[in-house]
Chain A
Amino acid sequence: MKKNLNIFIHAFTIELRKVFAYKLEFWASFIFSVAAMVVVSYLLWQSIFEVNNVTQMKGYDLNELVIYYFCISITHKILVSSGMGIISRDIYYGDLNKYLLYPVSYQIFKSGTYFTKSLIYLCVLIISLLGFQFFLSADLNILTCLQGILLILSSTLAFFFLTTILELFAFWAENIWSLGIMIRSIMAFCGGWMIPLTFFPESIYNFIHYTPFPYLLYYPIQTLTNQPCEYSFFTLVLIHCFWILIFYGLQALVWHKGKYKYSGVGI
């Protein structure tokens, strides 16, 4: 256990150094992407509110929508922190060989790499929430904020296992990039990144609750921002545990099957 923790911290530290070696690119990309999404969404909803001549729709006013888009944009970044290729590249280039020879867990090492950017973005989210509370007098609650942050952490873990499953398909498929992008697009839509789920027609709304994505993105944000949520915190924790176990089990199965397909030659 202690050995695994040391490996995780080591991988985390290396990745942190890599990220901050190019600070300008990292922060510029992050700030512009979040700002663009928030500003464009604000303008979109402002025009819709004006056309309908209302100040509130489906329980959201414009300020609440701004906070929603801000939080969900950062949370989306926390979940998908590292681009596709974190594991598949090792398989394609034959770099997995060296990890298989190391007396350490490959997955622990990779999780350390994966969670680095996630934790940086999470820190930004927490600081921003404090800013909302003190400067914009947002209706936030310390307890729900803590619950929301815990849910975001478990969502990140679940999404890491889901990403691992897709990445491990590289044992069979020659390029899994498109598969990963497709899942991320579906999550962005079903998780409420594009539009809060309460605006969805009932049929779509009911259907997407059979997928894990609303629980990974939308409900943690509802909890975090103290918005009405149809599930209690403990129910959401149970749902998260269910999906984490499913994804963990599947990735272990795919890893077990895939490693016998691995030639170590690379393409």
Chain B
Amino acid sequence: MRYLRLYLHFIRFSFTKALQFRFDFTFRIVMDLVFHTLNLVFFRILFNHTTLIGDWNQSQVTLFVTSFILFDGIYMTVFATNAWWLPEHINKGELDYYLTKPVSPLFFFSFKEFAANSLVNLLFGIGIFAWALTQLEFSFSFLQLSLYVLLIINGTFLYFAMQLLMYLPTFWTQSPRGFDMLLHGLDPVLKYPISIQKYVMRTIFTFLLPLNIVLSYPAKIFFNEAPMKGVLIILFSTLVFWLFIGWLWKTGIRQYSSASS
């Protein structure tokens, strides 16, 4: 309850801040709209030359692409800004601010900034996702929709954990940005449907660095390709991943010297 109240304070402050920087507020919205529109056009162009990508048809791929918009909206709103600053805080010895507060430092750092401008894009994402659902050739149940929402939210938490995995080595290497570009470099794996992946790649990005679990498996819920047992395994593996990140964070904090690099 105390943490929920704290989070509501974070949201209020973030809105006040966002409205002070109106140029940035507007341009972030335009940037995301351009970015996602180009992504949709890209797949539309591909379907001018084929009827299937892997074994997914156009409506399935469109649903997958709009899932990315939805995921990106949630991730950019809740986590992205917070994650971005972690390596700099470690590198410049600024993490003390988080460590000295009477709340969990990981919670405080993870949720402090709420990107109000990205919230607008989340609304856009919901709208376009709803449109993509109407394009599907087959029907779906309310249970499928609920599970999908659960898995997309789970996916954003999982992606944030992967982002932390790339940043936390900064505790040891003192590098300015950690391995963040490595995860950004793997964006194509996240943004292209799993249906194109072969066995080895599918295994690596499902079990080792679970990018497939972030988006592709949630989308498969609608195609009746992900059974209930799969949902439980996804939730369980996210929990295991987060336990590992929690352990890495604690180990990293013990390494943290507070000195500027």
A residues sitting closer than 8 Å to B (CB atoms) are 22, 24-25, 28-30, 32-34, 36-37, 39-41, 43-44, 46-48, 51-52, 57, 172-179, 181-182, 185-186, 188-189, 194-195, 199-201, 204
Q: Per a CB cutoff under 8 Å, which of A47, A186, A200 touches B54? A: A47
B97 at the interface (CB under 8 A from A): no
**How many Å lie between the Cα of A176 and that of B41 in the bound state?**
25
Contact status B21-A175, CB under 8 Å? yes
* B182 close to chain A: CB less than 8 A: yes
Residues of B bordering A, CB below 8 Å: 21, 23-24, 27-28, 30-31, 34-35, 38, 41-42, 45-46, 48-54, 173, 175-182, 184-189, 192, 195-198, 201
- Interface class of chain A by DSSP: helix
Are the CB atoms of A29 and B182 closer together than 8 Å? yes
Contact, CB under 8 Å: A48 / B42: no
A195 adjacent to B184 (CB under 8 Å): no
A29 touches B196 (CB 8 A): no
Determine chain B's interface SS by DSSP, over half rule.
helix
Closest Cβ–Cβ distance, residue B99 to chain A (whole Å): 25
Contacts of B54 in A (CB 8 A): 47
25 A–B pairs (Cβ distance < 8 Å), ordered by A: A25-B182, A28-B179, A30-B181, A33-B184, A36-B186, A40-B188, A43-B192, A43-B201, A44-B46, A44-B196, A47-B54, A48-B46, A48-B50, A48-B53, A57-B49, A172-B23, A174-B21, A177-B24, A178-B30, A179-B27, A181-B35, A182-B34, A195-B42, A195-B46, A199-B46
Q: Kindly state the separation between the CA atoms of A201 and B175 in the bound complex, as whole angstroms.
A: 44
Closest chain A residue to B191 by CB distance? A40
**Shortest Cβ gap from A219 to chain B (Å):** 19
Is there an interface contact between A186 and B38, defined as CB atoms closer than 8 Å? yes
The answer to whether A47 and B21 touch across the interface, beta carbons within 8 angstroms, is no
- Which of these, B24, B175, B198, contacts A25 with CB under 8 Å? B175
Kindly provide the distance from the CB of A155 to the nearest chain B CB, expressed in whole angstroms.
20
A26 to chain B, nearest CB (A): 9
Provide the bound-state CA to CA distance between A115 and B28, in Å: 27
**Quick check: A51 and B50 within 8 Å, CB to CB?**
yes
Expressed in whole angstroms, the Cα–Cα distance for A157 and B96 within the complex equals: 42
Bound together, the chains give a CA A74 to CA B27 distance in angstroms of 28
Q: Tell me whether A40 and B196 are in contact (CB under 8 A).
A: yes
Measured between alpha carbons, how far is A239 from B96 in the docked complex, in Å? 53
Q: Are B45 and A185 in contact (CB under 8 A)?
A: no
Distance to closest chain A CB from B58 (angstroms): 12
